[in-house]
Amino acid sequence: MQLRPFGASGVAVTPLGLGLAALGRPGYINLNHSRDLGRDYAIAAMEAHAHRVLDAAWDAGIRYFDAARSYGRAEDFLGSWLTARAIDPAAVFIASKWGYTYTAGWHVEAEEHEVKEHTLPVLRRQWDETQARLGGSLRLYQIHSATFSSGVLANVAVLTELARRKEGGTLIGLSLSGPEQGATLLRALEVKIDGVALFDAVQATWNLLEPSVGPALADASRSGLGVVVKEALANGRLTSRNDKAEFSPRLGLLHREAERLNTTVDALALAAALAQPWADVVLSGAAQADHVTSNAAALEVAWDAAAAASLADLAEPPARYWQTRSNLAWN
């Protein structure tokens, strides 16, 4: 897999990465997530399953892996896989995130699955927790779902602490969520500590249903940030798993375009993200080894102007997209 520069960081990354949001906990909002895990939620079984998916990613050439403290045991599983396979830290790019605490207690159904708190005590606690699990392999540390409402981009104590981590050699980034992704990112580009721009990278939701953050990501890329795309398959909505009657005409369009380009719907949707000139890494959220293989085929899709024009009408108003996402059931 040919490497790409990661913004102005001086680091090269694989264009396709693997996100572990669906691999580290029994419950998640991806369509048919429970089927992916075979409803076997024993910790040892889930760890073995995660290792199989990570093996498939490695075999496909993926070297970028993304976790978070709120993804249940994702960091544990990733760390144990790195150790079990004796993988040189220099051979992989490991990213993680802080700011949400996992609270579901290893249950699929819970009153709260995660609690958001962008404060200095949480940052310090979760940094130590991540270091204990990923240690010297960690390359990028991100604020998880930075928003205006959390106040994190105005929290001088938190930003100064992150700058200390950056001085220690860790890249600093932020992930985004919600209809204000673009505005939040533009504010983040202004953050400086002692005259130095804080952020080296941004991870945002961009897909054929919700492409509105594209112009802001282009600005971030021009500013030297590494750009990571998450949820390119819209939590399964841009796959054949989306059996909602109202989505049927759009799914038909996806199938026709995929057939024209001799690929699958999932690879087509990922190829759309990979084709964006500002995208350095596009994350697969695969929870099955065979899904990783299918997703990796996106790198071979001959994306063209006809595909871009044909699928442009799939885009939804951001408010509608994010409301639909918030209504997805944990399963």
Separation of alpha carbons 284 and 231, rounded Å: 8
**In the predicted model, is pLDDT for residue 118 greater than 90?**
yes
Parallel, antiparallel, or unpaired for β 12-13 and 93-98?
Answer: unpaired
CATH of domain 4-326: 3.20.20.100
- Domain regions of the chain by residue span: 4-326
**In the predicted model, is pLDDT for residue 194 greater than 90?**
yes
The 10s digit of each residue's pLDDT in 222-257 is 999 999 999 999 999 999 999 999 999 999 999 999
Tell me the pLDDT of the chain averaged across its residues: 97
pLDDT of res. 111: 83
Separation of alpha carbons 126 and 109, rounded Å: 24
pLDDT of res. 158: 98
The 10s digit of each residue's pLDDT in 127-183 is 999 999 998 899 999 999 999 999 999 999 999 999 999 999 999 999 999 999 999
**Residue 262 is inside which H or E element, if any?**
none
Q: How many helices (H) does the chain have, and how many strands (E)? A: 12, 14
Q: What is the end-to-end Cα distance of the chain in Å, rounded?
A: 33
pLDDT of res. 110: 85
Residue type, 304: D
What pTM did the predictor assign? 0.97
pLDDT of res. 234: 98
pLDDT of res. 85: 97
**In the predicted model, is pLDDT for residue 109 greater than 90?**
no
